[in-house]
Amino acid sequence: MSGGAEHPLRALRQPVLGTIRLGTGLGGLGALTSLVPFIGIVELGRALLRPEPAGATELLTIAAVVVAGLVFGWTCTGGGLWLTHIADHRLQAILRQALVRKLGQVPLGWYSDQTSGAIRKAVQSDLDDLHHLVAHHYVELAGAILLPAGGLAYLLWLDARLALLAVASLPVYLAAYAWMMRDFADKMNQLDASFVRVSAAIVEFVHGIAVVKAFGQTGRAHQGYQRAVQDFSERYAGWVQPLLRVEAVSSMALSPPVILLVSLGGGAAMIAQGWIEPIDLLAEALVAVALPQTILVLNQSLTAERKAAAAAARIADLLATPELPLCSAPRQPDGGEIRFESVSFRYDGSRAVLSDVTLRCRPGTVTALVGPSGAGKSTLAKLVPRFYDVTEGAVRVGGVDVREIAPDRLYRQVGFVLQDAQLVHGTVADNLRLGRPEASDAEMIAAAQAARIHERILALPHGYQSMVGEEAVFSGGEAQRVSIARTLLADTPVLILDEATAHADPESEARIQDALSTVARGRTVLVIAHRLATICGADRIVVLEAGRIVEQGNHAELLAADGLYARMWRSGAEADATVIGETP
């Protein structure tokens, strides 16, 4: 965030910041006490090398102090990690609840504009990155700072030249590290964006694998996945390969043999000059060898913090997604009539998708929306359940503007069956009762029978209690009939059908059409159709082109008018005849 706004990472961790700070303090204190054994070894050596060696009492006292220091340090480190894990648990709960609440309050159309891979990364992978940061990073960072600081302070107390000797090889590594970390944040953002595309490609390929295998297009279908993986690997390799060579050389500066060589060589010269005693060189060597490990931990911690900062930014963006506006004084719809009143709609910053559409759909009738691809059919229908809100005009259900109806009430008024039936993880019964949890078993079975899916469910290992995706694996047509049964059980006065038979085989299509005829009785039905043969019997057919209504009437009237609908009908009939081998 720019302009002095609080960084998303600081904002997200604010509810548990006090607990994190306390745990970090304890962890830092625990790391600092790990110097006690080093100091104890030096003091024991000093005591034993004096002209008059120390007595048993003095030696036991030093040993007791070392043991006490170690126990105290372990207690502090354990307590610090315990507190940061508690903080992480609380933060994870807060963020997961906030994300679930947000995902339940955004407009349904928002999901059409997002890839499932990007959403999954925000609610799963990004939260994992925050877990490491909160539960481990701060304690490790405190130790990586305080341990070398304490060690260098001890050497400064002995002799400032020992402290300089202990870090003599460090500038070589720091210079190389600074060069390697150039533009790190931008590189990580690019890699994260590439990984999001990989995740999205995986999800899209898996969802469509049955269809592409059936048509022998597996190689072509996974090209998108291959391109995404190739892009990610090229970006990663192009960034990492030059760094590995530099790191291999620079890391030698922190290797124990090099550090000991520098320490012993420099220390021998100091002893020869009479600046230090041999036992002081032991202290320097012990501290110097311990420094590289803390520097590596510091490096890893800073990398984790950068990853967590990027993850926090994505989570914050998701939490900042505009929610569906709610009316402060919601009204109750009366009946199932749908009215589109001078409706215009445009996506953000784009041209108008719908322009001045006025239409009335009466209860007990079926209205079909047809037209060329991109005419605005699906968009118009999705305005009824508020996938989006109109830019101009109003959409009314039961005499009330849909923006003035509470969402839960609107979804009890308007049901919809989309092209791609979505089933949630749970039992078949859970899926059927999704829109009406209180429905009885008898009502649920009646809905399944009406949707022509009851017999298929009974054939499952545990019938209606079979788990979807595990014991219950449905074909596309079967999943569509489960979706229709769910809509039928919800018993909504208004029903939106978006090409419900688009992906069905002929047998399933016949069963779905039979089920839909049952569902449509007595309801206000709005059908989006691409195949005109499926809506010949509709009470009214509305023809859209470029976002406007250009024709409306029943099938016979529109054929007689010899306009766009008649041309589409003749084109469709010729295509069907070609497919079955007839002469057009």
| 580 pLDDT above the threshold of 50 | no
Count of domains observed in the chain: 2
* 24, 86 Cβ separation under 8 angstroms: no
pLDDT, average across residues 519-523: 71
In this predicted model, what pLDDT tens digit does every residue of 326-383 receive, in sequence order?
A: 888 889 988 889 999 999 998 876 778 899 999 999 988 889 899 888 888 888 988 9
Tell me: do 287 and 394 sit in the same domain. Answer: no
- Give residue 401's pLDDT band: very low, low, confident or very high (50, 70, 90): very high
Same domain, 423 and 482: yes
Question: Where do we find the tokens 């020992």?
Answer: 162
Averaged confidence pLDDT in the chain? 79
Residues 237 and 355 in one domain: no
Residues 292 and 382 in one domain: no
Q: Return the amino acid letter for 167.
A: V
Does residue 548 carry a pLDDT above 60? Answer: yes
Query: What pLDDT, on a 0 to 100 scale, did the predictor assign at position 502?
Result: 57
User: CA Rg, the chain, in Å?
Assistant: 35
Query: Is position 128 within any domain?
Result: yes
- Domain co-membership, 233 together with 349: no
Output the DSSP codes for 385-443: TTSS--SEEEEEETTEEGGGS-HHHHHHHEEEE-SS----SSBHHHHHTTT-TT--HHH
What integer pLDDT is reported at residue 10 of this predicted model? 84
575 pLDDT above the threshold of 60? no
Rounded mean pLDDT of 269-297? 82
Whose structure tokens read 């210079």?
175
Confidence band of 246 (pLDDT split at 50, 70, 90): low
421 and 286 housed in the same domain: no
Mean pLDDT (whole number) for 498-509: 59
**Residue 50 neighbours by CB under 8 Å, 6+ apart:** none
pLDDT at 459 over 80: yes
Q: Can you give the pLDDT at residue 234?
A: 65
Higher pLDDT, 251 or 473: 473
**Please, which pLDDT band fits residue 550 given cuts at 50, 70 and 90?**
very high
Q: Maximum Cα–Cα distance for the chain, whole Å?
A: 121
Domain that includes residue 410, residue range: 338-579
Per-residue pLDDT for 1 more than 50? Answer: no
Q: Quick one: pLDDT at residue 582?
A: 39
* pLDDT tens per residue, range 414-443: 888 777 777 888 899 998 988 888 889 999
Whether residue 169 is predicted with pLDDT greater than 60 in this model: the reply is yes
Where does the pLDDT of residue 2 fall: very low under 50, low under 70, confident under 90, or very high at 90 and above?
Answer: very low
Report yes or no on 447 lying in a domain: yes
Q: Is the pLDDT of residue 578 over 50?
A: no
174 with 116, same domain: the answer is yes
pLDDT of the residue at 100: 83
Are 571 and 435 in a shared domain? yes
CA angle 396, 383, 566 (to 5 degrees): 100
Residue 324 belongs to a domain: no
Q: What was the pLDDT predicted at 236?
A: 65
584 within domain boundaries: no
Say if residue 299 is in the same domain as residue 246. Answer: yes
**Stretch 203-221: mean pLDDT:** 51
> Averaged over 212-236, what is the pLDDT?
59
- The predicted pLDDT at position 541 comes to 92
Which CB contacts under 8 angstroms, 24+ apart, belong to 235-242? 235/190, 235/191, 235/194, 236/191, 236/194, 239/187, 239/191
Where a domain ends, among 319, 351, 380?
A: 319
Which of 143 and 52 is assigned the larger pLDDT? 143
Q: Is residue 330 part of a domain?
A: no
Mean pLDDT over 399-408 rounds to 90
Kindly report each contact of residues 265-274 with a partner whose C-beta sits within 8 Å and lies 24 or more positions away, as own/partner: 266/165, 266/168, 267/162, 267/165, 270/161, 270/162, 270/165
297 & 434 share domain: no
CA-CA distance, 182 to 304, in Å (whole number)? 16
Distance CA 323, CA 95 (A): 17
Cα 310 versus chain centre, distance: 13
What's the burial of 301, exposed, middle or buried (CB within 10 Å: 0-12/13-18/19+)? buried
| pLDDT recorded at residue 403 | 92
How far CA 560 is from CA of 1, 542, 555, in Å, comes to: 61, 15, 9
| pLDDT surpasses 60 at 209 | no
391 in the same domain as 534: yes
* Mean pLDDT value of segment 306-331: 84
Closest CA to 126 of 102, 104, 105, 96: 96
What is residue 523's DSSP assignment? S
Contacts of 400 (CB under 8 A, 6+ apart): 331, 332, 333, 334
Phi, psi of 5 (to 5 degrees): -70, 155
Residues 202-221 have a mean pLDDT of 52
pTM given for the model: 0.64
CATH of the domain at 363: 3.40.50.300
Which two structure tokens, joined as six digits, stand for 542? Answer: 């509305």
Q: What is the pLDDT of residue 352?
A: 84
Most confident region among 117-131, 431-445, 470-484 by mean pLDDT = 431-445
Residue 1 lies in a domain: no
What is the structure's pLDDT at 215?
46
Q: Is 544 helix (H, G, I), strand (E, B) or coil?
A: strand
295 and 370, same domain (yes or no): no
CA torsion sign for 374, 378, 381, 382 is negative
Which among 117-121, 256-260, 498-502 has the top mean pLDDT? 256-260
Q: What is the pLDDT of residue 191?
A: 64
Phi then psi for residue 315, to 5 deg, are -65, -40
pLDDT number for residue 238: 61
327 backbone φψ class: left, alpha, beta (φ>0; ψ -120 to 50): beta
What CATH number does residue 194 fall under? 1.20.1560.10
- Last residue within a domain, chosen from 271, 286, 319: 319
DSSP run (H or E) holding 525: strand 524-528
Q: Is 327 contained in some domain?
A: no
Residue 531 lies in a domain: yes
Mean pLDDT of 498-512: 59
- Stronger pLDDT, 531 or 315, i.e. the higher one: 315
Where is pLDDT greater, at 553 or 122?
553
Amino acid 234 reads: E
In this predicted structure, what is the pLDDT of residue 99? Answer: 86
Given a cut of 70, is residue 305 above it in pLDDT?
yes
Going from the C-alpha of 379 to that of each of 362, 363, 420, 496, the distances in angstroms are 20, 21, 16, 12
Q: For 47-102, what is each residue's pLDDT tens digit?
A: 877 777 777 888 888 888 889 888 998 999 999 999 999 999 999 999 988 888 88
- What percent of the chain is predicted at pLDDT more than 90? 16
End-of-domain residue from the set 260, 288, 319:
319
Q: Which residues contact 194 (CB under 8 A, 6 or more apart)?
A: 228, 231, 232, 235, 236
Among residues 478, 488, 493, 501, which one has the least CA distance to residue 446? 488
355 vs 347: CA distance, rounded Å: 12
